[in-house]
Chain A
Amino acid sequence: MTVGALRRYVPSLALFGALLLIWQVVPPLLRIREYLLPGPIAVVRAALNFSIPWHAHIWITTLEILGGFALAGLGGVALGVAIAWSETTARALVPFLVVVNTLPKVAVAPLFLLWLGYGVVPNVLIAALIGFFPVVINTAVGLTQIDEELLDLGRVFGAPKWKVFVKIRLPNALPYVLSALKITATAAVVGAIVGEFVASQAGLGMVIVTAQTNLNTPVAFAALGWISIIGLTLYGAVGLATRWWAPWADTT
């Protein structure tokens, strides 16, 4: 990264710094107690206080987010392909998927826990359930929103359906899928944390619930910071993947 590129971030970094300063200085002046709104220094101290087993919680939550993300991605692409493959599969699947998607997933979480017990698996499933729908839709759209002449090209050269699918439709869908995965990255974080809220023995969501009951607000904020770092990293990775795998797509 060049100095010029770094200079682009100066305004946002300056704003960030100013907000941190206000956050640190103003609440004590207004006599706001730490258990209501801890300052940034207290939060960072909590985040780096390794008498709390942060690495274990981060590991569990990351596992749930990545598992949910991967499941939503693979399952979403598979369902999108099935929908785009033929009228019949589309008619069979779409109403079912719409029903599943309109369910309030948060309300389903307790059922998953009931069926699958505590642990990583139910939270992975909740994360996947919250994140998979955009992938289905974008995959189906990317596979079907295609220049009619590109399909004519396949017919001119006598290509079988599967070959047109692999060589023309799938690459055409890739930018659509990747842009859906950005939404999924965010949704998977929500899903994993929701699952941990409902019931769990480990993970950053559980840390927040416990800290809240103990009025240990700096720790809750610290957990929030760790969650946000995981989320941003995943989101950034999808962005990088888009630039790497779909450089032709006009994304910003």
Chain B
Amino acid sequence: MIVLDGVGMTYRAASGEVEALRSISFRVEGGELVALVGPSGCGKSTLLRIIAGLRPATTGRVAVDGRAVGGPIPAVGMVFQAPVLLKWRRVVENVLLAAELAGLDPGQFRARAHEFLRLVGLGDFADKLPRELSGGMQQRAALCRALLLDPPLLLMDEPFGALDAMTRDELNLELLRVWGEGSRTRKTIVFVTHSIPEAVFLADRVVVLTPRPGRVAAIVPVPLPRPRTVETRASPDFGALALQIHQRLAGAA
């Protein structure tokens, strides 16, 4: 469970101060999938970093699983907005980096790494260098790296932003499977996206942020039945929810 209480963030640089976030408060329950939408530059990436403990918030409190966040939190999978692959490592070695950095034996995760790569359509690219992959393929490799250690918490920053619509829809379904949509032990996921349909399709709740400085404009519950399928997108409720979020975004601008 993630608790954000009055979180604010102001970047201080030589060129001046940028207030990225202002008094953000919401909770993410254990096993919940929350989507974060908002205009570009409103502080979504900043908020994920704060939750992960990679940057300290300037004001407010953050707690994950009851513990105040004061530094990098353990047992988290993070997908950055950029793929962030090591350009000298082959794709599968990049995925296995998760185990190496965490101090685990990568040999034990090799089969799993290949399985994930197949799952995201990179089975034939395991031994390529990152530069031989398109941006979208690199991002999928980064997703495999984040999933490798089966973390209970996933923080994902526009992970499918660079993908074509069809691949994105496929991977959305795959993500729901990995999340544990059909099971009781679900991961907790915070998912940043700029696609309203993607947010509605995936999320239990959608947190809508205002333009910079980002504040919570609305929290929209998504009561669509699970498991969600291809038909979900065609339902009238889906359209209504998407429209509602669209209006909240427009109203906040």
Contacts and interface: CB of A to CB of B under 8 A. Distances in A.
B101 A158 contact: yes
A55 interface: no
B178 interface: no
Contacts of B52: 156
Contacts, number: 56
Interface stretch (A81-89, A129-137, A144-152, A188-196): A144-152
Interface string B83-97: 010111000000001
Contact of A248 (B74, B88, B149): B88
Contacts of B41: none
A42 interface: no
Contacts of A147: 84
Contacts of B102: 157-159
B208 interface: no
B101 A159 contact: yes
B54 interface: yes
Contacts of B97: 153, 157, 167
A157 to B, nearest CB: 4
B125 interface: no
A167 B101 contact: yes
A217 B103 CA distance: 64
Interface string A136-178: 0000000000010110111111110001100110011010000
Nearest to A247: B129
B238 interface: no
A149 B101 CA distance: 14
B78 interface: yes
A158 B84 contact: no
A246 interface: yes
A155 B84 CA distance: 13
Q: Which of B49, B74, B84, B103 has most A Cβ within 10 Å?
A: B84
Given A152-B80, A167-B101, A158 B74 contact: yes
Contact of B101 (A163, A172, A174, A248): A163
A155 B54 contact: yes
B182 interface: no
A187 to B, nearest CB: 27
A150 B78 CA distance: 12
Nearest to B148: A157
Given A158-B101, A159-B103, A150 B86 contact: yes
B121 interface: no
Contact of A152 (B54, B98, B129): B54
B82 interface: yes
Contacts of A150: 84, 86
B131 interface: yes
B72 interface: yes
B54 A171 contact: no
Nearest to A175: B88
Contacts of B80: 149, 152-153
B29 interface: no
B100 interface: yes
B224 interface: no
Nearest to B52: A156
Contact of B72 (A158, A172, A174): A158
| Top-9 shortest CB links A-B | A157-B101, A159-B101, A155-B72, A157-B102, A149-B84, A248-B87, A156-B78, A248-B88, A171-B88
Given A150-B86, A248-B129, 4 more contacts: A152-B78, A153-B84, A156-B52, A159-B101
Interface of A: 147, 149-150, 152-159, 163-164, 167-168, 171-172, 174, 246-248
29 contacts: A149-B80, A149-B82, A149-B84, A150-B84, A150-B86, A152-B49, A153-B78, A153-B84, A153-B97, A155-B72, A156-B52, A157-B97, A157-B98, A157-B101, A158-B72, A158-B74, A158-B103, A159-B103, A167-B86, A167-B100, A167-B101, A168-B86, A171-B88, A172-B88, A174-B88, A246-B88, A247-B129, A248-B88, A248-B131
